[in-house]
Amino acid sequence: MIRTGAQIVWEMLQREGVEVVFGMPGGSIMTTYHPRQEYGVRHVLIRHEQAAAHAADGYARASGRVGVAMATSGPGATNLTTGIATAMMDSIPLVCITGQVRSSMIGSDAFQEADITGITLPITKHNYLVTDVHDLAPTIREAFYIASTGRPGPVLIDLPLDVQTAKIEFQPPQGDVCLAGYCPDLTIDPADVEWMAAALAEAERPVILAGHGVVLSGAAHLLRTLAESAELPVTTTLLGKGSFPDHHPLCLGMMGMHGAVAANFAIQEADLLVALGMRFDDRVTGCLERYAPSARKIHVDLDPAEISKNVSADLAVVADVRDVLERLSPLVVRSDRSAWMDRIANWKADAAEREILFRASGLGLTAPDVVREIWEQTGGEALVVTDVGQNQMWSAQYYASSRPRSFLSSGGLGTMGFALPAAIGAQIARPEDEVWAIAGDGGFQMNIQELATVVQEDLPLRIAVLNNGYLGMVRQWQEHFYDGRYEATKLLNPDFVRVAEAYGLRAWRGTSCDEAQDAIDRARNLPSAGLIEFVIEGEGEGGNVYPMVPSGAALHEMMRRPIPVGASKSGWSG
């Protein structure tokens, strides 16, 4: 079979089971685009290459498969980098294919030349510059293997134009992929599992910390079995949402800077933490020197580089979470922890009472009202993709997730502009699901052009824009820690409804709870995409996210939602 390098790309993508590629053509990659129609791989034309990477990312998060993005050389390739870094920080499997100038011109500052392998070296799991067409097929195969095994991550393949046009007799790679230096040892020591079981049996105040690794390993059902059989309270990271049902009696909610009161207090008073597939990010721990001071710490993670990097582990288990839980569950016994569970119940009740007082305080439309209404109308079964900032935290707090891969968000990098393109990828990955993109007015405008992609691909996406007129999270910090001086956070926004209509979407505006309820119902009953602009409280207590752990503070020193003036509070425990 005589094939050009361009044909080999699509041949190998097809062999890897790729169904869709997100990208935009250009001078140095159009040769690869040319034969695509000969192969059964769908291409989604994105309006900006950053969005291509985010869409591939959303596809990967929603499906559990490798996402694929494609761009031309120079600015096309560099536009991918924010999306690549986002995927790297959150352990998302991507393969990004970029065009490059001819091999003979590399290093000459040719038109649209950029050293993309050098640029992306710190933000990829691995990258390749293919200079010989004979290496192309094995390289693509290796890229998918590296991206999807061990701790997942993005891999970039840079293709010079002459490699795309070169012809060879194509022989598909045979046998297993074997890479010297990439042989992660995930063997579990039985003694470690026995130590974990004994520690759980002895603990009076245990807490399980469930991270993204539980989702990636497909271990959610095993985590629930363990927690229920031994009555172990569970808290999740932002990316761990869905690994344990948010409304389960043993769920403490999300931990960290804007985490639930019960979760943060429980961590600080615990005598044992079992961290599963998480990396103890600074947004999770607060002040490291005062983090869970009385707790022994067990850390299970695929990546040995994460063990004791931020928080020292008393027991480190470098292994797949799923394998560990399969071995641990039969060994765990149920202990009487009624006093611990009662204390947790009191924290939950106190937070719930504050929430009731907040809802009854007579404010205008707030973000919690909107997210709660979306949750109620969807029955908690929607796939939610958030942007970054206040909208992200409100969505995490008020949209209770019950299943893995149903809450997608940019965690580690915190990339504004993520929601809309990632939701496009998620909707394509799961066409039968109801997908909601929830974004703030600031982040939404960073990739607003992808409304055209939504319409072009005829996606039934629902888009909620929480318009508070500010870069809300920065404004909140300025209010609390910068003497209320709002610098460069007030936004002059367009009419989002008219913008959406100009792109060809149905759109509504909600300024009250009744209008919000009606607009959400209308959007849900559309066969095509719909956008709702929610005009919400922008300042004061109705415009802030609580709880909030200030920079440098310990988790238990979080700022709580203030009790409205004149409200009485029964059972106040301080």
Residue 255 CB neighbour total at 10 angstroms: 28
Q: Structural domains in the chain? A: 2-169 (3.40.50.970), 190-343 (3.40.50.1220), 363-550 (3.40.50.970)
State the DSSP code for 298: E
Q: Is the dihedral of CA 512, 517, 522, 524 positive or negative?
A: positive
- Give the list of residues 6+ apart from residue 146 with CB closer than 8 angstroms, or none: 125, 126, 153, 155, 179, 182
Instruction: Give helix then strand counts, H and E, for the chain.
Output: 23, 20
Report the distance separating Cα 158 and Cα 543, nearest Å: 45
Report the distance separating Cα 147 and Cα 153, nearest Å: 5
pLDDT tens across the length of the chain (574 residues) = 899 999 999 999 999 999 999 999 999 999 999 999 999 899 999 999 999 999 999 999 999 999 999 999 999 999 999 999 999 999 999 999 999 999 999 999 999 999 999 999 999 999 999 999 999 999 999 999 999 999 999 999 999 999 999 999 999 999 999 898 888 788 999 999 999 999 999 999 999 999 999 999 999 999 999 999 999 999 999 999 999 999 999 999 999 999 999 999 999 999 999 999 999 999 999 999 999 999 999 999 999 999 999 999 999 999 999 999 999 999 999 999 999 999 999 999 999 999 998 888 888 999 999 999 999 999 999 999 999 999 999 999 999 999 999 999 999 999 999 999 999 999 999 999 999 999 999 999 999 999 999 999 999 999 999 999 999 999 999 999 999 999 999 999 999 999 999 999 999 999 999 999 999 999 999 999 999 999 999 998 899 999 999 999 999 999 998 876 655 444 333 3
* Ranges assigned E (strand) in 309-417: 315-318, 383-386, 407-408
State the DSSP code for 270: -
- Are residues 533 and 526 in contact, defined by beta-carbon separation less than 8 angstroms? no
* Token pair of 298 as six digits: 């067990």
Residue 21 backbone class (left: φ over 0; alpha: ψ -120 to 50; beta: rest):
beta
- Are residues 37 and 58 in contact, defined by beta-carbon separation less than 8 angstroms? no
Residue 245 backbone class (left: φ over 0; alpha: ψ -120 to 50; beta: rest):
beta
Q: What is the CA radius of gyration of the chain?
A: 25
- Please give the pLDDT value at position 180: 84
What is the per-residue DSSP string for 136-184? Answer: HHHHHHHHHHHHHSSS--EEEEEEEHHHHH-EEE-----S----TT---
Report the distance separating Cα 341 and Cα 492, nearest Å: 48
Of 313, 314, 325, 310, whose CA–CA distance to 213 is shortest?
325
Report the distance separating Cα 303 and Cα 317, nearest Å: 10
Give whole-number Cα distances, 117 to 159, 407, 562, in Å: 11, 31, 50
Angle between helices 338-359 and 261-269 (to 10 degrees): 150
- Give the list of residues 6+ apart from residue 195 with CB closer than 8 angstroms, or none: 315
- Please give the pLDDT value at position 540: 86
Q: What is the pTM of this model?
A: 0.96
* Token pair of 236 as six digits: 């999740």
In single-letter form, the type of residue at position 223 comes to L
